[in-house]
Structure 1
Amino acid sequence: MRADRPKKRYSVTVPIGRPKPAVPLPRIEGPDNPRLPLVVIDAGHGGHDPGATSPYSGKREKDLTLELARAIRDDLVAGGRVRVALTRSDDRYLVLEERYGIARRLKADLFLSIHADAAENSQANGASVYTLSEVASDREAARLAARENKANIINGVDLGAHSSDVSSILLDLTQRETMNVASDFAKLLQREASDEMTFRTTAHRFASFVVLKAPDTPSVLFETGFISNRGDSDFLTSKSGQKKVARGVRDAVQIHFARKIAAAR
């Protein structure tokens, strides 16, 4: 009787390519003193992702947020009390995780993501400040988070997708103290900037924005107004309006870190 021949084994090799290099870290501006707090400012959208477009000025959100980020940076640097870095200083696309990833790699003390909202109702107006929560404070917050989080999707492929398990772990790792600090800063930002700009009646809101999920960096998303509203659009696209937004942020940031220094003494 002939012995059975050994079965042939086959292997398949699939090239997966080299790992994508980390996004280069931006330049830190301001005083050359590493002991000073570091604020990372994220201009929302960019590159192939234009965000919303104002029907009045034609300004795209990605361009407006960069102008606002630069204005805020300039005001903070001029104050000399903090150091500042921008996640993007030109028209480039960043995956959402790369944005807060830059803040984490720089060991930032505060992460501020700048956006401008849009709505079908042209009467909707005013700024709002969002901090992290898996449970949105209202349907509008949930809608906005879903829309902004789609910035990671290109041609139907989610570039920053995490499994639900990993997302849960990330949320669990988010220190309660970090979320509390972010919440306190959101309230402070509304208080200090209210003299310079209009806020919504319920300005501090909660949503599951991807860019807010750094577990160890207090993070807020600042919706500076509705570019679908003529008044907000005119304000945000003007140099005087952008300077007012910058002053409000500067005052909030300076008070925020002054409180931290005083509490540490």
Structure 2
Amino acid sequence: MERRRLLRLAMTVPLVAAAGLGGGAAAEAAEPQRPAAKPVQAKPRLIMLDPGHGGADPGAIGTRGTQEKDVTLDIAQEIARLLTARHRLAAKLTRRDDRFLALEERVDLTRKAGADLFISIHADSAPNHDARGLSAYTLSDQASDSFASKLAAQENKADRFGGIDLKAAKPAVRDILLDLTARHTKHAALVARQALVKGAGKDLRLLDNPMRSANFAVLKAPDVPSVLVETGFLSNPQDEEVLRDVQARRVVARVLAREIAAVVSRSPFA
């Protein structure tokens, strides 16, 4: 039972007794006993997982031919499985197979689903090929640094693979993509980013300065806290070696699922 309902009941009981309606055998006889109300079960938190790229858009391609779209789909599917089976959370994916989705579509799917948290999974090509390790990004109109700025500019070009021109988008949709308001949403995203990186860093290698921000179009749902996670960079041979290995990807997925579950169990999500 919700705390507000309990408080209302607690306030009602003494008022009933004071009015002479709550005591005596006659009152008990006059008032038929009602079956106990079933406890209201809280709806599980919904996590929207977004495997980056797909279809005509392969994303980054490593020196050994590893395609980002395959890596992200595999990791996201395993995270979804673990969130549901092990952590008792609801999980959906923006795509479940090798298909192209515009950035705008990913945002729309997330908002329509009423997700509590949006996590976009990537394994891009870094501006600096020496860069390696996991990192997480939140939305900001001003990039935290040139690295994040270049990464966002690269990611925001993904729609070109579908022949999509944002200038021709509906005004309402364009406004949603450019909306940088919603303080609670932005605060929750920052909390999620910090917790994910801090927790994942116990088991996975992190990028130098692993918490950054930039103007990523896919993070622009104004009412859903959104974080983009780079699981590593396929432009780095060592990261590619890890990300092309199925068992290594399982480790990444397990760590991220654990930390995502921990994130939504605490304020401001709880």
Paired position in structure 1 for 2:52:
44
Classify the secondary structure of the residue corresponding to 1:259.
coil
* 1:102 equivalent in alignment to 2:102: no
Classify the secondary structure of the residue corresponding to 2:47.
strand
Q: Which amino acid aligns with 1:48?
A: A
Cα distance change on mapping 1:231 and 1:165 into 2, 3 Å? same
Per-residue CA distance 1:65-98 (angstroms, 9 max, x = gap):
1111112112212214210001000010011010
Q: Which amino acid aligns with 2:244?
A: T
Cα distance change on mapping 1:35 and 1:142 into 2, 3 Å? same
Query: Which range is displaced more, 89-98 or 247-256?
Result: 247-256
CA distance in 2, matches of 1:62, 1:153: 16
Structure 1's unaligned 5+ residue stretches are: 1-32
Paired position in structure 1 for 2:121:
114
Paired position in structure 2 for 1:176:
183
Q: Which amino acid aligns with 1:42?
A: D
Paired position in structure 2 for 1:55:
63
Q: Write out aligned runs for 1:185-204 (5 A).
A: 185-204=192-211
CA distance in 2, matches of 1:139, 1:202: 12
Contact 2:49–2:119 (8 Å) recurs in 1 = yes
Contact 1:132–1:208 (8 Å) recurs in 2 = yes
> 1:122: Cα distance to partner?
3.5
CA distance in 1, matches of 2:237, 2:161: 31
> 1:135: Cα distance to partner?
0.4
Match of 1:232 among 236, 239, 259: 239
> 1:120: Cα distance to partner?
6.2
CA distance in 2, matches of 1:43, 1:131: 16
RMSD between aligned alpha carbons?
Answer: 2.5
Paired position in structure 2 for 1:208:
215
Q: TM-score, normalised by structure 2?
A: 0.78
Contact 2:185–2:224 (8 Å) recurs in 1 = yes
Match of 2:94 among 66, 87, 93: 87
Match of 2:256 among 213, 233, 249: 249
> 1:170: Cα distance to partner?
5.3
CA distance in 2, matches of 1:219, 1:93: 20
CA distance in 2, matches of 1:155, 1:79: 36
Structure 1 residue runs of 4+, over 3 Å off? 119-122, 154-157, 159-173
Contact 2:47–2:92 (8 Å) recurs in 1 = yes
CA distance in 2, matches of 1:123, 1:68: 23
Per-residue CA distance 1:124-153 (angstroms, 9 max, x = gap):
211110000010011111111111111112
CA distance in 1, matches of 2:149, 2:59: 17
Paired position in structure 2 for 1:125:
132
Q: Write out aligned runs for 1:2-17 (5 A).
A: none
Cα distance change on mapping 1:145 and 1:132 into 2, 3 Å? same
CA distance in 1, matches of 2:100, 2:122: 15
Cα distance change on mapping 1:46 and 1:159 into 2, 3 Å? farther
1 or 2, which has the higher helix percentage? Answer: 2
Contact 2:185–2:225 (8 Å) recurs in 1 = yes
Cα distance change on mapping 1:231 and 1:211 into 2, 3 Å? same
Per-residue CA distance 1:36-87 (angstroms, 9 max, x = gap):
000010000011111110103x111111111111121122122142100010
Return the index of the structure with the highest Cα Rg.
2
Contact 2:56–2:161 (8 Å) recurs in 1 = no
